[in-house]
Amino acid sequence: MFQFVINQASLKGIIDAMKAIVDEDIKLHVDENGFRIEAVDPSNVGMVFLQAKSSAFDAWKASPMELALNIRSLENYTDIKDVPVSVSLDEETHKLKISQGKTKYSMSLIDPEVIKQGPRIPKLDMPCVVVMAGTDLQEAVRSANKVSDHVILEQNEDKFVIFAKGDIDSAKVEFLLSELTGVKQGISRALFSLDYLTDMSKVIAKNGSVTIESGVDYPARLSFCIGNDISVQYLLAPRIEQDE
């Protein structure tokens, strides 16, 4: 059994969060408590871990199973704003039945075995943590994009810094730790691709605050929630070389 009802805004939030890393086929691990998705981009640079609790849905009934689907198809079939989305699995045809208002679709699923196995959430003891508004992160990333295609995330004793340096120009945005919340003081510095961070920050900015965990040449972990019952973690691998 697999069926649920969810508001369109929450479903779009889930889809957008996934598309920042993968924009084609995804695998859902489903049980009576909700579902989770674990995916890595083709270059193995960005990972996403999403957990949607059953309480995030207006209605939820499911048995343990794995389902694989094309995320762009799901997006196309659920694009009517402010209209709840109803989804159920047809056991005979093994297709999803999707309804939004008077519009109904039958959507083919994919064999889960052909989908690349998702990554396990790595256990990393990050030495540095800050919590900031997602909009502040997005604005800092926008500034960095004006001068370079990569950015340094750095934390020291009193500041969290987002710094980008191009061939001739540079951009720096500084946040005093005393003005942030959830701070774990330490030293961190690593270089990251702005292609990935830009897509991530656009999604994060729509969903309130973000927790950023970092270290010296560590991956960056960015965690946030969509509403109260959908949690998302992005893990972004650092670039090996740091351009000074």
Q: What is the pLDDT of residues 136-184, one digit of tens each?
A: 999 999 999 999 999 999 999 999 999 999 999 999 999 999 999 999 9
Return the pLDDT at 143: 98
Return the pLDDT at 242: 47
Q: What is the pLDDT of residues 195-220, one digit of tens each?
A: 999 999 999 999 999 999 999 999 99
Q: Which domains are seen in the chain, by residue range?
A: 2-114 (3.10.150.10), 128-236 (3.70.10.10)
Return the pLDDT at 244: 47
194 alpha carbon, distance to own chain's centre: 15
Supply the pTM of this predicted model: 0.95
pLDDT confidence tier of residue 83, bands split at 50, 70 and 90: very high
Return the pLDDT at 241: 56
pLDDT confidence tier of residue 123, bands split at 50, 70 and 90: confident
Kindly tell me if the per-residue pLDDT of 119 is higher than 90.
no
Kindly tell me if the per-residue pLDDT of 102 is higher than 60.
yes
Query: Is there a contact between 190 and 217 (Cβ–Cβ < 8 Å)?
Result: yes
Mean pLDDT of the region 228-234: 97
Residues 89, 64: Cα–Cα separation, whole Å: 13
Return the pLDDT at 115: 86
Kindly tell me if the per-residue pLDDT of 113 is higher than 80.
yes
Kindly tell me if the per-residue pLDDT of 121 is higher than 70.
yes
Mean predicted lDDT score pLDDT of the chain: 95
Mean pLDDT of the region 12-30: 95
Return the pLDDT at 118: 73
